[in-house]
Copies of this chain bind each other. A is one copy, B any other.
Amino acid sequence: MPKNIKDILIEMKNMSELMVDLAYSALLFNSKDAAEEVIKLENKVNRLNYQIKKESLLAARTVEDAEKLTALLEVGEATETIADSAKDIADLVLKGIKPHPVFKMVMEESDEVITRIKILEGSELSDKSLGELLLATRTGMTVIAIRRNESWIYGPDKNTILSTDDSLIVKGNVTGGSLLLQLANGETKLEDLEYEEFTED
């Protein structure tokens, strides 16, 4: 049973962080796809919070149990509220509001970049797992979500295998983003990357 609550909590934590990222990304890229994904995730977070409540109620046997479990309930509620707020941001995109030019300016000037990168034919990124590629270690870029054909893979992990034509939504700094773009275009090979990092110092 604690195993169950633990898995739910991990999923809620990862999802709420992903939703905040995706919601801002939807707003800044004016992407209805990303916004729709936030809506789906919000439903999922709500269902997970319902499960947290149910499991916590079942787990409480003693006063001490109950004291410890109230914290879980409160974290569940807070996470659901974060998810709701991300949904509010995504709703703006889906309502088709005219985006204020300031959003584009934020995107351009933020120290952190969120960008969409497509894996082209011939890129070494294809048919490899994120763990194998060590993308975060090598480029400093985190893959937030992957658009594959008509579906999204959100919160990819080290076992997720990339394919040609995948669109990655990635987050990181400008330098890392341009390295990753070159890898995805097939302009740069993985072995060149180490060389580039070396010369950057």
Contacts and interface: CB of A to CB of B under 8 A. Distances in A.
A58 interface: no
Contacts of A172: 136
A180 B127 CA distance: 29
Given A105-B6, A173-B136, A71 B85 contact: no
Contacts of A71: 92, 97-100, 103
- The bracket for how many chain A residues form the interface is 35 or more
Interface string A1-25: 0100110011001101100110110
Contacts of A67: 97-98
Interface string A51-86: 000000000000010011111101101110110111
A176 interface: yes
B78 A88 contact: yes
Interface string A155-194: 0011000000000000011011001000000000010001
Contacts of A98: 64, 67-68, 71
